[in-house]
Amino acid sequence: MTDVVMPQMGESIVEGTLTKWLKKAGDTVVLDEPLFEISTDKVDTEIPSPAAGVLSEVLVQEGQTIQVNAVVARISATDGATPAAAPKVEAAPAAAPAAKVEAAPVAAPAPVATPAPAAPSAPAGPLSPLVRRMARENNIDLSRITGTGAGGRITKDDVEAFLKGVPAAAPAAAQVAAPAPTAKPFAPGAKTRVEPMSIMRQKIAEHMVMSKRTSAHVTTVHRVDMTKVAKMRAKHKDAFAARHGMSLTFLPFVTRAAAEALAQFPMLNASIDGTNIVFHNEINIGIAVALDGGLIVPVIKNADEKNVTGLQRSIVDLAGRARSKQLKPDEIQGGTFSITNFGSFGSVFATPVINQPQVAILGVGTVEKVAAVVDDAIAIRSQCYLALTFDHRLIDGALADQFTAKVKAALETWSEDIL
C-alpha cells in the first residue's frame, strides 16, 4: 500500500486545496500518471501518481484545504490476489466493535475531558530573533501576547508592554482588524452576477495583500533605448527560430542584463529575516507567467550562468509547462528576484508588487518605436520603460537607481552574440 500525500509546492507553503480528482476510487493508475489537481498561492498544477496500482482509498474530497504531507489517498498493488485488497476497505465492519468501545465512555464522567486545557495558539507571523530572545529570557508564553505589527506580528514593543503589564496591545490589534469592511448585500433583482473566486485567485489575493503589508513598496522607472537589442533581434530572429524551434523575444535580453546587475548589487538579491539581511549565493530569477484567471512565477535557477539562448529556452519551457500544469515543486521555489513582462500585453509601464520574501521585482514595458532626440537631432528609436519596485526597508532609492541604471546600460550597449 502506498500513501499519496499533499506535496509542498514552495518554501512558505503549509497547505493546499485539492481542487479536482482525475481518478476515482477503484481506478487503475500508472506511475507518474496525473492523479489530482491542487491549488496554492504559488501554483495550480496536477500531481502525478507516486506508484502504479489501484486507487483503493480517497481520503480527501474536492475543495478541501489540507496541510502539506497529509495523506490524501492510498494506492494498492495490482499483482496476483491483490484485488482482494479492495475488500479490505470493506473490512470496515470489523471496526464495528470500535463503536461499542466508544459507548464505554458513558461510564467515564464527561467532565474529565472538559478541563483539559487547549493548546496555546501559535503567534501570528514570523518572530524576530530579538523577540524570541526576550521571550526565552523572561519565560514568556508568546501565545498570550497580541501582536500589533503587520499581519498581527509580535514586536519588541509588544513584549515590553506585556512585561510592564500595560494592556496596550489589545486596542492596537483591534485597530488592525477593524478596517475590514463588510460587503453590502445586493438588492434583489440587481443587475449583477455573483460567483466565487477560484482557489488560485483567493491565494493570489492573500499573497498580494500580505506583500503590501510586509514591504515598504517604492517604484522607480527608467527609460531604456532598446535599439541595439531590437536590431540584433530582427537580424537573427529567423535563423534563431529555425535553429532552436522557438521565437526570440526581448525578455531573455532583459533577464540577462538583470542577472549581471544582481551580481554587482547583491542587496537586491537578498531577503529580510527580522532584523537580519539574508544574502543569497545563487541568482534565481522568477519569471511571471499569465494563466487563465491568475499567474504563476516559475524560477530560472542560476540565471547568471545562462546566455540569451539558454534563458529564452528556459522561459519558453517553464511558461509552457506552467500553462499545462506540468511544473515540478522545485521549479516554483527558491526565487531570489522576479521579472514581470507586462509589455507583452501592450502596457507601457506599471508598478508591480514584490514577490515575498524577495525585496525587488523588475517590470518590463512594451518595446515601441518613438521619436527621440539623439545628438541634437530627431531619430526613430526603439524604447521601453523598466519599472523596479523595491522594498524601502532594505533598499534606498539611490541603490535602486544604480541597479536599474546598470540594467539600462547593459541593454543600451549590447554586444554579446546570441547565436
Which one of the listed residues 32, 141, 330, 396 is annotated catalytic?
Answer: 396
The three three-digit cell numbers of residue 136, written as one number: 526565552
C-alpha to C-alpha distances, 90 to 4, 83, 84, 319, nearest whole angstrom:
20, 12, 10, 45
Which one of the listed residues 217, 222, 236, 392 is annotated catalytic?
Answer: 392
Q: Which residue type does 276 have?
A: N
Contacts of 278 (CB under 8 A, 6+ apart): 270, 271, 272
Q: What is the dihedral of CA 294, 217, 335, 290, to 10 degrees?
A: 20
Contacts of 224 (CB under 8 A, 6+ apart): 383, 384, 385, 386, 407, 408, 411, 412
Q: Is 396 a catalytic residue?
A: yes
Left (φ > 0), alpha (ψ -120 to 50) or beta: where does 321 sit? alpha
C-alpha to C-alpha distances, 278 to 22, 203, 412, nearest whole angstrom:
41, 26, 31
Rounded to whole angstroms, the Cα distance separating 141 from 280 reads 33
Q: Which residue type does 419 have?
A: L
On whether the CB atoms of residues 325 and 313 are closer than 8 A, the answer is no
The three three-digit cell numbers of residue 350, written as one number: 506599471
DSSP-based helix, strand, coil % in the chain, nearest 5: 35, 25, 40
C-alpha to C-alpha distances, 407 to 224, 322, 346, 369, 381, nearest whole angstrom:
9, 27, 21, 20, 18
C-alpha to C-alpha distances, 221 to 29, 363, 377, nearest whole angstrom:
52, 9, 25
On whether the CB atoms of residues 25 and 58 are closer than 8 A, the answer is yes
On whether the CB atoms of residues 221 and 401 are closer than 8 A, the answer is no
Positions marked active-site: 392, 396
